[in-house]
Structure 1
Amino acid sequence: MLSRSDDADFEAFLHEWMRETLGADEVSVQPIVAGTRSSWSVDVTRGDDLVPVIVRRTRDTLQVYGDESRETQIYRALAHTPVPVPDIYAVDTERGLVAAQRVAGTDDLSGLDPATREAVSDELMRHIAALHALDPTALELPPMPVPTTAQEHATLDLDHWLRFHAANAPANPVVTFAGEWLRRNAPNDVDRTVLVQGDTGPGNFVQHEGRVTAVVDWELSHLGDPYEDLGWVVARALLFPFGNLTRRFEVYSEASGLPFDRARIWHGAVSAMLKILIAGDVVRARGHDDPQYPIMVSGPAFHGRLVIDALRELAGVEQGPVSLEPQPDTGSEREGSLAFIRTTLRERLLPSLSDPYQIAQAKAALRTVRHLQQGERYDAAIEDQERRDLASLLGEDMSVAADGRKELCERIRADTVDTNTVLSYLGRHVQRETVRMAELLGPMATTPLPRF
């Protein structure tokens, strides 16, 4: 992670960088405690003018596409289009930083009155339609694979993510099953090839005084099917309420000329949720030092449950509840150590902090400790149920459930297991994961699928 903005050397670098690139007379720096990339709000005074700047890492959290300059190139490619994006002022490739226009407004819609919130949400859908009306070949985009068939519009980027998961995280049958489902159910035709934003929707645009001022976060952009972005709207609406989704998609359809196709949108939503799940799996495997770690690491449980719920509904597979008995407190050294850390964070460390970033980091650590304590209560019961479930499904005993899940992934890819039987197991699996991750998920543990 980059130095904090209160590090003297880093602060001196930012002052010099702003003087060189923007002609700054004075520079004021404040860290931003949000998102998954280190960011700083910078006010540049130049004569009588105040230039608001945001400095961010160019490296996204996971480097799914491997090119740190990719997102910056996309911003610049869209600069003179109807899609509102921030201007890029400067890039420091050595430190992996980009300085961009800090547009007026916020990504939070909660403070708006209902009528204004609806109007802003509809305006975003029109901007997405404007994006999908652009000819990607006329934009100076970074190199991107170009889908040439209807199938590739649904699978080219998906396959990249599945390879990324295979290289960086343990086998996960939810990922394998959903990936195979998306391939089998890929649309037979595509209306047009577009620049897909990826991660589209609430939380990733800025509004000010009832108008959309910028669409942000383009690191997952690729060429593909426009309905992918509508699927991302569904996925992000699970975390950031976005009003009446039926209304949102009607507005998009009217602006884009494309039909309101629920099946295509749900295909895009399963794809989007799967990618978020993959990101969380990789964070679990790699570790991460960002305050957003608890949210990211719980993603596989949250989106895994919703992906399987969606696929079960589409297949008409019923699912009963899972019953898990917590292990009683044994007074072990590990339990005592976790209790000590929790008390120290909550009662001694947190009350003494004033720095927003340090407070966020300490709160994230506290949530993680509570998660580990939840594991002490339920991990043994979950492992036992998983082993027995997998033995019944595979017809052979597995001493470790992870080995059974790996074998199940192989059989799913080989199409040698009954789909509905696998879906029933996965329904129980994601319920157990939801229990295991309950302290990190909070109210998200019971978030239902959206309806539209």
Structure 2
Amino acid sequence: MTTPRPELPAEIRDWIATVTGAERVEVKQVPGGASRQAWFVDAITGAQTRELFLRFDPRDPDPASAFHPLAVEAEIMSELYRHGVTVPRVLAAHPQRQAVLSERVPGGTWFSRITDPDEQVRTARDFIAKLAALHRIDARELTIPGLGEAGPVEGHVRDEIAAMRTRVDRYGKPAPLLRFCIDWLERNIPAYDGPTVLVQGDTGPGNFMYADGRVTAIVDWELAHFGDPMDDIAWLSLRTVQDTFTDFPARLAEYEQLSGHRIDEDRVWYYRLFAETRLASLHPDSIDTRASVPVDSPDAGNRLIYGMLHRRLLVEALARVVGIPEVEVDLPDETVESEHAPVYAATASTLAGAAAQAQDPLAVRYVKGAARLVKYLAEVDRVGAVVDADETAELAALLGRVPESVPQGRAALAEAASRGEISESDYVAQVWRGIKRDDYLTRTASGALSRRTWPPLRHPTEGIEQKEADRWASPSPKTTVS
């Protein structure tokens, strides 16, 4: 059964015709998000055609959401355009519906599809120049009613932490690790008294458009907020985990020169944890669950592996800021086999055959996602009991009793840490050991994703030839954050 493509409401078409003065409006939906639709719009008058772009969300704005309503995004882009930032020019925002009409900007969005390494570097450098230009703007000079006035960074950080806490409270169920991270962030806000900037949030490859080695537009401002410039550097490093972005330390050195903001590694690590905690607060059920998959989604396989990636990145950042360099975990022998291994292998082969025969790209994605679920289940069947027994023993040693299950033990450990009965370092070290076991069980499903981690902020040695450093980049599959 084919899901019907959504139609653009007649009232939105009529609004476009009114604001453009067009005699005829033609629209075509293009990939650009889930509930927030993206449309190419041709506003035609006589022999002239204006090529425009429409973002449309059929839902009413959610006051509790971390994502701005489209009207606020329009305010942000309009003000940035006035200040010379490379963003699409907004023509109009609908007065009642979530719809924003802007000029259509040429260019691609999948950075990993740039096959020429030199073009990759030119594009990445141009993005860094534009991010630096954004961060040179004094946020107090920006008039964005939806964001209010810019003040000291600490106040904006506290406001966002309060919003995270509200989202978790609204969830109404225990979220021990997530609450621990929120509490830690609130106790350890960096002592920064430098200039406040507009942080794009979720900035980097995938959220800008490019052509011929140049960035043609920076897009997606739904998480923009006032804050610390290192907040955006953290987001950029997060997107770099998921997509090609050339040599990261070299790009940061360029950023320092162009922006006037020194890269503060401790602050970047704080905001790495901040970014991952903010993402987790949008779906509080995901962070404390080994295999967080939506039971009603055909894309559950991909949600499994990206959920695991973000959980691991969160805990790696938490360990870094707490001061834990590494933990050791004994993992099961790779040669151990399950008696059901042939059945899992046959299922994987069947799914691979189905993917090869499918014509619909979305169907191929879903079938490959199902294959990931099978690979994960095969590992759980093979060594899940061994992994759980090892972690249960560690939890029992810390708690002074044997927990009923690994999830129950993890929750009890978080509660004990919150009461001061277990030290912060002991708690985080144990969480990290648990995450390493979860990651081990997911590794065959995740493939190359299981080997990715936060990029370095500095080169380990001085005098590296930047040309050679830039050449390390190779195209990788495009993925998304939010």
Can you list the C-alpha shifts for 1:76-97, whole angstroms capped at 9, x where unaligned?
3323122111233455577644
Report what 1:222 is aligned to.
225
Change (3 A) 1:94 1:287: farther
Report what 1:276 is aligned to.
279
1:422 pairs, out of 404, 419, 427, with 427
Structure 2 contact 337–382 (Cα < 8 Å) conserved: yes
Q: How does 1:132-151 map to 2 (within 5 A)?
A: 132-144=135-147, 151=154
Greater shift, 269-278 or 65-74, is seen at 65-74
1:443 pairs, out of 431, 448, 473, with 448
AA matched with 2:248: L
Aligned to 1:298, what secondary structure does the other structure show?
helix
Report what 2:466 is aligned to.
none
Aligned to 1:179, what secondary structure does the other structure show?
helix
Q: Measure, in 2, the Cα distance between the counterparts of 1:299 and 1:374.
A: 17
Change (3 A) 1:215 1:448: same
Q: Offset of 1:191 from its aligned partner? A: 0.4
Structure 1 contact 204–215 (Cα < 8 Å) conserved: yes
Structure 2 contact 156–227 (Cα < 8 Å) conserved: yes
Report what 2:211 is aligned to.
208
Report what 1:298 is aligned to.
305
Can you list the C-alpha shifts for 1:283-342, whole angstroms capped at 9, x where unaligned?
6879497776644443442133233334445624431134247783569xxx89x987x7
Q: Offset of 1:157 from its aligned partner? A: 1.6
Q: Measure, in 2, the Cα distance between the counterparts of 1:101 and 1:290.
A: 34
Change (3 A) 1:91 1:397: farther
Q: Offset of 1:199 from its aligned partner? A: 0.7
Greater shift, 204-213 or 242-251, is seen at 242-251
Q: Measure, in 1, the Cα distance between the counterparts of 2:332 and 2:281.
A: 26
Report what 2:24 is aligned to.
25
Report what 2:185 is aligned to.
182
Can you list the C-alpha shifts for 1:233-266, whole angstroms capped at 9, x where unaligned?
1111111122222222222222222223222222
AA matched with 1:309: E
1:197 pairs, out of 176, 182, 200, with 200
Q: Measure, in 2, the Cα distance between the counterparts of 1:295 and 1:158.
A: 28
Q: In the alignment, is residue 125 of structure 1 matched against residue 122 of structure 2? A: no
Change (3 A) 1:268 1:115: same
1:102 pairs, out of 101, 104, 110, with 104
Structure 2 contact 43–52 (Cα < 8 Å) conserved: no
Change (3 A) 1:190 1:77: same
Q: In the alignment, is residue 399 of structure 1 matched against residue 404 of structure 2? A: yes
Q: Measure, in 2, the Cα distance between the counterparts of 1:228 and 1:441.
A: 28
Structure 1 contact 135–194 (Cα < 8 Å) conserved: yes
AA matched with 1:103: V
2:357 pairs, out of 351, 360, 365, with 351
Aligned to 2:204, what secondary structure does the other structure show?
coil
What RMSD in Å do the two structures reach over aligned CA positions? 3.9
Greater shift, 95-104 or 55-64, is seen at 55-64
AA matched with 1:409: A
Q: How does 1:361-376 map to 2 (within 5 A)?
A: 361-368=366-373, 370-372=375-377, 374-376=379-381
Report what 1:84 is aligned to.
86
Q: Measure, in 2, the Cα distance between the counterparts of 1:376 and 1:52.
A: 54
Greater shift, 269-278 or 75-84, is seen at 269-278
Change (3 A) 1:307 1:144: same
1:307 pairs, out of 293, 309, 314, with 314
Q: Measure, in 1, the Cα distance between the counterparts of 2:194 and 2:144.
A: 21
Change (3 A) 1:185 1:446: same
Q: Offset of 1:416 from its aligned partner? A: 3.3
Structure 2 contact 152–196 (Cα < 8 Å) conserved: no
Q: In the alignment, is residue 409 of structure 1 matched against residue 414 of structure 2? A: yes
Change (3 A) 1:53 1:297: farther
Structure 2 contact 354–367 (Cα < 8 Å) conserved: no
The number of equivalent residue pairs is 442
Aligned to 1:128, what secondary structure does the other structure show?
helix
Q: Offset of 1:425 from its aligned partner? A: 0.7
Q: Measure, in 2, the Cα distance between the counterparts of 1:352 and 1:221.
A: 39
AA matched with 1:306: L
Q: In the alignment, is residue 323 of structure 1 matched against residue 331 of structure 2? A: yes
AA matched with 1:27: E
AA matched with 2:110: D
Q: Offset of 1:104 from its aligned partner? A: 0.8
Q: Measure, in 2, the Cα distance between the counterparts of 1:66 and 1:121.
A: 27
Q: Measure, in 1, the Cα distance between the counterparts of 2:133 and 2:302.
A: 32
TM-score by length of 1: 0.81
Can you list the C-alpha shifts for 1:82-136, whole angstroms capped at 9, x where unaligned?
2111233455577644444331111233425333322322222222222223343
Q: Offset of 1:381 from its aligned partner? A: 4.5
Structure 1 contact 187–264 (Cα < 8 Å) conserved: yes
Q: Offset of 1:168 from its aligned partner? A: 2.9
Q: Offset of 1:183 from its aligned partner? A: 3.7
Q: Measure, in 2, the Cα distance between the counterparts of 1:181 and 1:363.
A: 38
Aligned to 2:55, what secondary structure does the other structure show?
strand
Change (3 A) 1:409 1:97: farther
Can you list the C-alpha shifts for 1:353-397, whole angstroms capped at 9, x where unaligned?
34x445444544554455455555555455444443322222233
Report what 1:75 is aligned to.
77
Q: In the alignment, is residue 257 of structure 1 matched against residue 264 of structure 2? A: no
Aligned to 1:238, what secondary structure does the other structure show?
helix
AA matched with 1:225: D
Aligned to 1:79, what secondary structure does the other structure show?
helix
Greater shift, 378-387 or 113-122, is seen at 378-387
Aligned to 2:30, what secondary structure does the other structure show?
strand
Greater shift, 396-405 or 51-60, is seen at 51-60
1:116 pairs, out of 115, 119, 123, with 119
Change (3 A) 1:365 1:44: farther
